[in-house]
Amino acid sequence: MIEPFRRIIGLALPPRCAGCGVPVAEDHRFCAVCWTGLRFLGPPWCAACNRPFAFDRGDDAVCASCLANPPRHAGVRAAVAYGPIARDLVLRLKYAGRIAFAETMARQMRRLLPDDVDLLVPVPLHRWRIWSRGFNQAALIADAVAALSGVPHDRSVLRRTRRTLLLRGLGGKARARAVAGAFAVTAPDRVRARSIALVDDVYTSGATADACTRALLRAGAGSVTILCWARVVSATAD
C-alpha cells in the first residue's frame, strides 16, 4: 500500500532542482542548466591547500601562497567554486530554513572526503546565533555527510566561546582578528590523534577555519582537513 501512495505524492509534489526549482527525476538533483552552472572542484590542485590549478603541475605541486605561508590544515576540500547557484543554496539553507539542502550539499562533498578521516566536526555557532536561527547549518551538513559515509561526527567537541562580529565585508586581517581565540575544544581526549574533517558551508578567507584548526591541533588532533560545500576561488589559478 505504501508504494502507490509514494507514486501519488511524487506526481503531486515532484522532486525539484535544488538550484532553480524545476521538476527533476530525484531529490537533491540539479537540472541540466544548474548542473552546468556549477563549477565542481577536484585535481589538479595545490598539494597543500587544494586550491585548483589551471593545468596539471604534478601531484606534489604547491601554490605560491602555500610556499610563502604553509597552512596549518591538511587541505580545503570544497565540492564547488562559490558562484551564483552555490551561493543561493547556502543562503536558502541558512536564512530560509531549507534544511534539506544540507543533504544536497553533503552528497557532493562526500566524494572529496579523505579516506583517512575518522571524525567529522562542524564549525560551531555561538549559542545566541543558534537560538536566533534555530540550527547550525554546518552541523546539519556534517550530519548528512556522516550518514552518507559512515564516518562518526561530534557536534559538541568544538565550541565557540564568544560571539564574534559578522565577517561579511571584512578584509582578511580583520576576519582573522575577529575570530582569534573564539574556539575551544571541550574534550581533548575525543580529538587526540584523530584525523578530523572540519565541516562548513563556505570557505572564504579561511579565517574561521584557521581558528578552528588551531584549537583542534592544540588539543592534540593528528590532522584537520576542511570539508565544505563551496570555496571562493580566483578566476585564474596561480
Q: Residue 141 sits in which domain range? A: 76-231
| Interior/surface letters 82-91, b for 16+ CB within 10 angstroms, e for the rest | beebbebbbe
Give domain status of residue 19, yes or no. Answer: no
Beta bridge partners of 184: 159
Does a structural domain hold residue 139?
yes
Q: Quick one: which of 191, 230, 201 has its CA closest to 123? A: 201
Q: Is residue 26 part of a domain?
A: no
Per-residue pLDDT, 189: 97
pLDDT value, residue 6: 47
**Can you give the CATH number for the domain in which 201 is found?**
3.40.50.2020
2 within a domain of the structure (yes/no): no
Question: What's the pLDDT score for residue 37?
Answer: 96
Instruction: Give the C-alpha separation, 24 to 134, whole Å.
Output: 29
Question: What is the spatial distance between Cα 64 and Cα 223, in angstroms, rounded to a whole number?
Answer: 22
Q: Which residues have a Cβ under 8 Å from the Cβ of 181 and sit 6 or more positions away? A: 161, 211
Is 185 part of any domain? yes
Number of domains in the chain: 1
Residue 29 lies in a domain: no
Q: Give the tens place of pLDDT for each residue, 67-94.
A: 999 999 999 999 999 999 999 999 999 9
pTM listed for this prediction: 0.89
Listed as ranges, residues in the chain with pLDDT below 70 are 1-12, 164-178, 235-238
Instruction: Give residue 8's pLDDT.
Output: 45
| Residue 58 lies inside a defined structural domain of this protein | no
| Neighbouring residues of 67: CB distance < 8 A, sequence distance ≥ 6 | none
Residue 196, in any domain of the structure: yes
